[in-house]
Amino acid sequence: MKIDVLTIFPEFFGQVFDFGIIRRAKLAGIVEINIHDIREFAVDKHRMTDDRPFGGGDGMVMKPEPIFAAVEHLLGTSERADYPAGTKVALLSPQGHPLKQPLVKALADATEHLILICGRYEGVDERVNDVLVTDEISIGDYVLSGGEPAAVVLVDSLVRLLPDALGSETSAENDSFSNGLLDCPHYTRPAEFRGMKVPEVLLNGNHAEIEKWRHEKALEKTRKFRNDLLGENGEM
């Protein structure tokens, strides 16, 4: 997968993608991540990327010209109908669809080239949404100073679902939300620490019993912390 990030603060991403799973995926050629400065595509001598909103009001709005120019540079077109197969252009904003695991999985399964537009200020000129954007995504019901932190969250959640990124076919399948539940508790050595013992079922080698225990504990944790994920009777 190829990921291009459009931002007015490219330095924000300095080393953020150079650690852990993302770094290994980059080195293995599973993902390519490029950061682009929107200011380089500005059309005036001052490289302006924002202006006052029509109709008045507080703050500034990101101008359409540099963003259109950047997308056209990357894709050769600004017409969604002409985007190559497997191409998505996503705007990160508080007004977007909530970023949940099924959305991440859908992007991982069907996207070959993802362009992320990091919004700033009061937002982005709506013509960008009307013409360029295929997906508008929000990482939560709160407002950030810009889309850069959201881009990091999206890229991290996405890359770990790419084939071979985790080094195990089942690692991502067992994550929280992958089966509609939160993850079960996990333990490692030592088997006893400060009087606290690892549940005996995890030590007996009976895989059927272990899987049953893990499911029950995942259901228990989901009821406690995220009952909204369950049905009306609290069951899956």
Q: Are residues 185 and 78 in the same domain?
A: no
Query: CATH code at 201?
Result: 1.10.1270.20
The label of the residue with tokens 């996207």 reads 111
Structure tokens at 43: 């059309």
Is 165 in contact with 29 (CB distance < 8 Å)?
A: no
Residue 192 lies in a domain: yes
Mean pLDDT for 100-107 is 96
Instruction: Show Cβ contacts of residue 161 under 8 Å, excluding neighbours closer than 6 positions.
Output: 104, 105, 108, 172
Q: Is the peptide bond before 190 cis (omega within 30 degrees of 0)?
A: yes
Q: Are residues 155 and 98 in the same domain?
A: yes
Domain closes at, from 132, 159, 186:
159
Residue 236 lies in a domain: no
Residue length of the chain: 236
Mean pLDDT for 147-158 is 98
Residue 31 lies in a domain: yes
Residue 74 lies in a domain: yes
Known catalytic residue: 50? no
State what percent of residues in the chain have pLDDT above 90.
Answer: 88
Known catalytic residue: 160? yes
Of residues 116, 127, 112, 70, the one with CA closest to residue 93: 116
Query: E strands within the chain?
Result: 2-7, 32-37, 50-51, 61-62, 87-98, 113-118, 135-138, 192-193, 196-197
**Among residues 122, 135, 156, 220, which one is catalytic?**
122
Residue 81 lies in a domain: yes
Q: Are residues 24 and 111 in the same domain?
A: yes
Q: Are residues 26 and 128 in the same domain?
A: yes
Q: What is the pLDDT of residues 188-204, one digit of tens each?
A: 999 999 999 999 999 99
pLDDT over 70 (residue 236): no
**Among residues 4, 120, 148, 160, which one is catalytic?**
160
Instruction: Show Cβ contacts of residue 145 under 8 Å, excluding neighbours closer than 6 positions.
Output: 120
Bridge partners of residue 197, in order along the sequence = 192
Residue 199 domain boundaries? 176-229
Domain closes at, from 125, 159, 193:
159
Q: Are residues 19 and 93 in the same domain?
A: yes
Q: Are residues 155 and 188 in the same domain?
A: no
**Among residues 24, 53, 65, 94, which one is catalytic?**
94
Bridge partners of residue 37, in order along the sequence = 7
Mean pLDDT for 126-148 is 96
Q: Are residues 140 and 182 in the same domain?
A: no
Residue 179 has what pLDDT? 74
What pTM, to 2 d.p., does this model score?
Answer: 0.88
Q: Are residues 200 and 146 in the same domain?
A: no
Q: Looking at the 3D structure of the chain, how many domains does it have? A: 2
Rounded Cα gap, residues 7 and 138, in angstroms:
16
Q: Are residues 27 and 95 in the same domain?
A: yes
Known catalytic residue: 223? no
Is 81 in contact with 104 (CB distance < 8 Å)?
A: no
- 127's torsion region: left (phi>0), alpha (psi -120 to 50) or beta? alpha
Name which of 48-52, 149-153, 170-174, 198-202 the model is least confident about.
Answer: 170-174
**Among residues 72, 135, 156, 175, which one is catalytic?**
175
Q: Are residues 144 and 63 in the same domain?
A: yes
Known catalytic residue: 192? no
Residue 234 lies in a domain: no
Q: What is the pLDDT of residues 159-189, one digit of tens each?
A: 999 999 997 655 666 565 667 899 999 999 9
Q: Are residues 26 and 121 in the same domain?
A: yes
Domain closes at, from 159, 190, 221:
159
What DSSP string describes 55-97?
T--SS-EE-HHHHHHHHHHHHS---GGGSPTTEEEEEEEEEEE
Q: Are residues 20 and 132 in the same domain?
A: yes
Dihedral of CA 18/178/88/132: which sign?
negative
